[in-house]
Chain A
Amino acid sequence: MAWTKQSKTCRTVYLVLQEDLEQISQTVEFEPAGALTMDQLQFYSTAASSGIVDAEAKIIAVSYDRILVNSYRRSYKATFDQQSAVAALVEILKDKEKTVEDLSDTTGQIYAERRTA
């Protein structure tokens, strides 16, 4: 799945990371944000030990999941529940080479869009 303005998931990931979780600088526009790697987000400090990076990744994953489920009313796809969703997010967040676009792809695999009447 490409990083594109036409994707609702990409737009959501960008604004949740930038506005709600303050992980991306306010000066970074949508287009270049997709290529940012995890160590270019606020939570990931390459100077810290893995114990601290793990803890930060868990905080971001849990917060991100709560925003998607409550603010955006996203539900989990058939093979996921909250436990496996957060675990999958933590795996992506802890990998400093993964990009925001990768996180968006994983988000698309975990969460179903809201069904409208």
Chain B
Amino acid sequence: MKSSKSYLWVIFLMMALQFAHAQDSTSLSANDFRKKLKEVINNPDLYNDAFAKLRSALVNKNNFLNDFDLKFKTFQTEGLPPSLGFEYKYDNSWTKVSKEAKFARTFSIDLNGNVAFKHEHNPNDFLESKANYSFDWFVGGHIDKNTNADVDSLELIDSLIIENQGKPAEAVLREKRREYVSMSNMFYLGLNAKASYESNQTFTQQQFAPGLLVNLGFKAWDRHSDARWLNIPDYPFALLRLITGSSKDFMPSRASFPSVLLGIDHVIPTDDALRKAVLTDMKAFERFRFEAAFKTEAAVLDKQVIWFSANYRWFRELGASKAIREADLAGYSYFTCNLASSNGFFVSYTHGRLPFDVKANSTYGLGFVYNLGTWK
């Protein structure tokens, strides 16, 4: 109790310091004072700093906080003023791998969502609490075992590469190193059984959605194969890397093939005002879902690596009634992409809606990301 009181004092003190910083030394009118106070209270950085302090103090005492992430942010939706809120995420998993790591089994718990303090300003009004069991296959990714003499050479080359960084010899040494590490292409298939509870932030819409999902992935690890040329989404970025000088050749990435998640959910609505408005009963229904994700290096500018990330999600109710289709509740699609620099600067664009959103919104974002866990 004593420690929680002291943390409240820390938060109060930080608000006071922020406020003192926000105002200048000249006297303020009552209106200016209210305006400045509002600016301080609505600044998500204040709460992020306070939470980071609280977490860094408690993290060794409570392991739950190691996997829990809370990020205060400002929501900006078309036609509405900015509104303060937060995004939360808890993700923990336990993995068992078979001999030779050809198969893996994982049990995970994942809670995530966005909460705006004014709920009508939330463009991503979707909270999900999920338990998942997955069975994974890794096909390919074979590597021949090096001899001791090979390892001696490899480790010597590693040392020389690092000693010669930025010098002409580096490229030759890297080329030589490739003779000692050679892996075949790898396919990944994951089968998932999951149970999730979904709601909006006011819990006026809730549903339970168990489902079966398939995860697909591919890595063109084999440098000698032409598989990397199948990474067509990376072509524009390979060109950009060439133009900006971060790559000497037009070469799609071997690692950045899009990942895919697809499957069927059995949705049991428990409270859904939107469906109640158009249906006389609240029967369970099947929903197809698809997600694709892609991340690749876009460019390097002024020594900052710029990553491009995109994510598309699509939900479709199977056998939806005419009333559901006419009310535009049968399908949802959501797209987000961002360019993020290694110094934290990002620009983002989001369009579409997730289940429970009434209408599609477009949201633009611009700002800096702070990593709470590395706060000192």
Contact = CB atoms under 8 A, between A and B. Distances in A.
Partners in one complex: yes
Interface of A: 5, 8, 11-12, 14-16, 19-23, 25-30, 36-37, 40, 42-52, 54-56, 58-59, 62-63, 65-67, 70-73, 82-83, 86-87, 90-91, 94-97, 99, 114, 116-117
Given A26-B247, A45-B293, A54-B93, A73 B183 contact: no
Contacts of A20: 181, 183, 221
Contact of B336 (A15, A47, A95): A47
A108 B275 CA distance: 55
Given A50-B110, A67-B181, A70-B145, A62 B104 contact: yes
A16 B69 CA distance: 29
20 contacts: A21-B255, A25-B246, A26-B246, A26-B247, A37-B374, A40-B342, A42-B253, A46-B338, A47-B295, A48-B291, A48-B311, A51-B192, A55-B259, A59-B186, A65-B101, A66-B143, A71-B154, A71-B181, A82-B99, A91-B93
A85 B277 CA distance: 53
Contacts of B307: 40, 42
A90 B141 contact: no
A15 B371 contact: no
A58 B221 contact: no
Contacts of A117: 148
The 4 lowest CB-CB distance pairs between A and B, nearest first, are A97-B373, A48-B293, A47-B311, A22-B255
Contact of B295 (A27, A42, A70, A73): A42
B interface residue count range (under 10 / 10 to 19 / 20 to 34 / 35 or more): 35 or more
B97 A27 contact: no
A94 B92 CA distance: 9
Q: Is the interface of B mostly helix, strand, loop or mixed?
A: strand
B291 A49 contact: yes
A73 B305 contact: no
Given A25-B305, A82-B101, A42 B180 contact: no
Interface in B81-138: 89, 91, 93-101, 104, 106, 108, 110, 112, 130, 132, 134, 136, 138
Nearest to A74: B151
Given A54-B108, A70-B143, A114 B151 contact: yes
Interface of B: 66-67, 69, 89, 91, 93-101, 104, 106, 108, 110, 112, 130, 132, 134, 136, 138, 141, 143-146, 148, 151-152, 154-155, 158-159, 161-163, 165-166, 174, 177-178, 180-181, 183, 186, 188, 190, 192, 213, 215, 217, 219, 221, 246-247, 253-256, 259, 261, 291, 293-297, 300, 303, 305, 307, 309-311, 313, 336-338, 340, 342, 371-374
A16 B336 CA distance: 31
Contacts of A99: 374
Contact of A11 (B96, B158, B178, B372): B158
B143 A19 contact: no
Contacts of A36: 342
Contact of B151 (A22, A40, A55, A72): A72
B151 A73 contact: yes
B311 A54 contact: no
B190 A55 contact: yes
Counting chain B CB atoms within 10 Å of each CB, the highest count among A5, A58, A82, A117 belongs to A58
